[in-house]
Structure 1
Amino acid sequence: MRRAGAFYVFTGPWVLGFLALTVYPLGYALWLSFTNSDGLSPNARFVGLDNYREVFSDPDTLDSLARTGLFTAITVPLTIVAGLFLAVLVNQPLRARGLFRTLLYLPAVVPPVGAALTFKLIFDRDSGSANGVLDLLGVNGVSWLADPYARYVLIMLTLWGTGNVMVISLAGLQDIPRELNEAARVDGASWWQSFTRITLPLLSPVLFFQVVTGIIAALQTFLPLLISLDPTPKGVAAVPESNNLIMIDVFSQYFSNGRYGYASALLWVLFAFIMLVTFVVFRLGKGAVFYSVEPEQKKTKSRTIGGK
């Protein structure tokens, strides 16, 4: 009884928070998605699947979803490759290696809002330092926060947080036994052969984790709103077309158009899309990820240790 009481005391706050802050909002948003609620009137009318039919027939919504998919397909591989490249560099026996690791990781601890506003100041058309450098080189300044350059600023902002990926990749590299690479070099393997035949396969679970979490995060990107609006915001319409991702469309439907039911349907469609993409990635990565101990072997080993 005492152990059970301690269990419920320690898990109770989390369970209550999960029910109040996760389960209830999800259920409420699901109910809203079947209504024409505007967020103000208490008399929301049930409309069935009308909101979902509109989602799949609205060309603007489909375009924003396609732009989100393209943004994800570009930024996730770039971030993983850049993080792995930095991890390999700072894993070398260099002087002040800890300092380099700290400096490269430092941008990742900057709050996303602060990083977005900083990029907005750097790439401002009139007073930004990016155009200031171009002026020194004799090149006319450009409107970085407007099409067609806005998408490139967004990609650079995403790569700004590569330090998180670097740290995870670095931990995976340090977990690989050095004896394996040393033995390969003794057998005549080059650095590239050792890296592609030994390091990458052993690092594949870490890379797979980064792919899954990177896709989920990229599909929910909301920072374009912060770096694309005018200094005196005029609304979501100020977001460049190339950066009008699905979450910007959701924000617009909620707060500009007051269509809470339709916006909730958009979020549930996005949730289903993320689940589908994650499922496909797991299926594709099933044969590409190398585990030193297979899940079936882990179960057998645990049962043997437990004596059952």
Structure 2
Amino acid sequence: MSTSQLSRPVRGVRATAGAGRPARRRASLRVRRAWAFYMFVGPWILGYLTLTAFPLGYALWLSFTNSDGLSPHTKFVGLANYREVFADPDTLAALERTGVFTAITVPLSIVAGLLLAVLVNQPIRARGVFRTLLYLPAVVPPVGAALTFKMIFDRDSGSANGVLDLLGVNGVPWLVDPYARWVLITLTLWGVGNVMIISLAGLQDVPREILEAARMDGASAWQTFTRITVPLLSPVLFFQVITGVIAALQSFAPLLISLNATPAGVTSVPQDNYLYMIHVFAQTFANGRYGYASALLWVLFAVIVAVTFLVFRLSRGAVFYSSEPDQAKNAPRTIGGTR
């Protein structure tokens, strides 16, 4: 056997060893990338586990106990809390009032925000100033807005009754039934600037060519708005309906602050404004029933999921998307292979 023949396997081993180095480098690069990924998402994962997942799991466990939040002796009661939720007339009445409040405030907020967006979308002078002024109330913290409304609608020293006195009208006890509900609705509409900004962004995304073509065809301003603008805005309006319903069903802080509700005097809340979250607050802090309050919150979570699912089902055929992947995929082909 020649020397060249003996050296061939050796060169083959060296070639194989050299070919393995890029593979090891690629594996090392994948490991470094994986470590970098987990280092970046690690704070979020830690925050989600400690601030979301654990509290949810702990609240779910509490809902099956008679915990009062203080005593270490907690007894497992099974589904007793949930059975009490559906048998308690106060709970059902609070849920009904919350549903009425949601049905009133969500459409009003969306309609008012859309009308304001249409107004500030017109080519007028100082348009940016008007947009800023209408949006400013939305950036006011809820606590500040609630305290402001408390001072405005105070029976003795409020500016609302001051204006009525100038007109020769007797003062109105705004913060008691039956006027308190309308004060709360007005407080909710105070932050309609958020809805206006989102609707304004949707209006500016409507193609001008379509609007101009409608005008050339003789369509009136109302027909153009109702038959072209609103259908093209339907995804934006649908988003606002979903987020508005979820927020309205959880209304809590402005109500407590503006109507002087405290842990020691939750009954000071007017009956018309005794919403579901106020009932949860009363059961938690006034009555010390942490287990029952946790069950109330999980029932509210189920209600929100059910209402959201219902809104999604009812929106089929009512929401227009300008580009739908399924329709583009199934579109007929023309000559040359184009769609």
Q: Same fold (TM over 0.5)?
A: yes
User: For 1:75, which of 97, 105, 108 is the aligned residue?
Assistant: 105
Residue 306 of structure 1 is matched in structure 2 by none
Q: 1:234 to 1:260 in 2, by over 3 A?
A: closer
Identity over the aligned pairs, expressed in percent? 77
Residue 113 of structure 1 is matched in structure 2 by 143
Contact 2:67 2:291 survives alignment (8 Å) = yes
Q: How does 1:99-248 map to 2 (within 5 A)?
A: 99-222=129-252, 223-229=254-260, 234-248=264-278
Residue 279 of structure 1 is matched in structure 2 by 309
Residue 261 of structure 1 is matched in structure 2 by 291
RMSD: 1.5
1:95: how far off? 0.3
Residue 37 of structure 2 is matched in structure 1 by 7
Contact 2:263 2:286 survives alignment (8 Å) = no
Q: Distance in 1 between matches of 2:194 and 2:92?
A: 31
Q: Distance in 1 between matches of 2:264 and 2:110?
A: 36
Q: 1:298 to 1:246 in 2, by over 3 A?
A: farther
Residue 26 in 1 paired to residue 56 in 2? yes
Q: Distance in 1 between matches of 2:66 and 2:325?
A: 47
Residue 91 of structure 2 is matched in structure 1 by 61
Deviation track 1:252-297 (CA, whole Å, cap 9, x = no partner) reads 0000000000000000000000000000000000210000112435
Q: 1:298 to 1:21 in 2, by over 3 A?
A: farther
Instruction: Give the unaligned 5+ runs of structure 2.
Output: 1-30, 332-339
Instruction: Give the unaligned 5+ runs of structure 1.
Output: 302-308
Q: Distance in 2 between matches of 1:89 and 1:14?
A: 41
Q: 1:300 to 1:236 in 2, by over 3 A?
A: farther
Q: Distance in 2 between matches of 1:38 and 1:287?
A: 48
User: For 2:119, which of 89, 94, 104 is the aligned residue?
Assistant: 89
Query: Counterpart of 2:156 in 1: which secondary structure?
Result: coil
Residue 249 in 1 paired to residue 279 in 2? yes
Q: Distance in 2 between matches of 1:204 and 1:298?
A: 20
Residue 16 in 1 paired to residue 56 in 2? no
Decide which structure has the larger Cα Rg and report it.
2
Q: 1:56 to 1:282 in 2, by over 3 A?
A: same
1:299: how far off? 8.1
1:77: how far off? 0.1
Moved over 2 A (4+): 295-301
1:146: how far off? 0.3
Query: Counterpart of 1:102 in 2: which secondary structure?
Result: helix
Q: Distance in 2 between matches of 1:20 and 1:182?
A: 54
Amino acid across the alignment from 1:54: E
Deviation track 1:126-152 (CA, whole Å, cap 9, x = no partner) reads 100001011111111011000000000
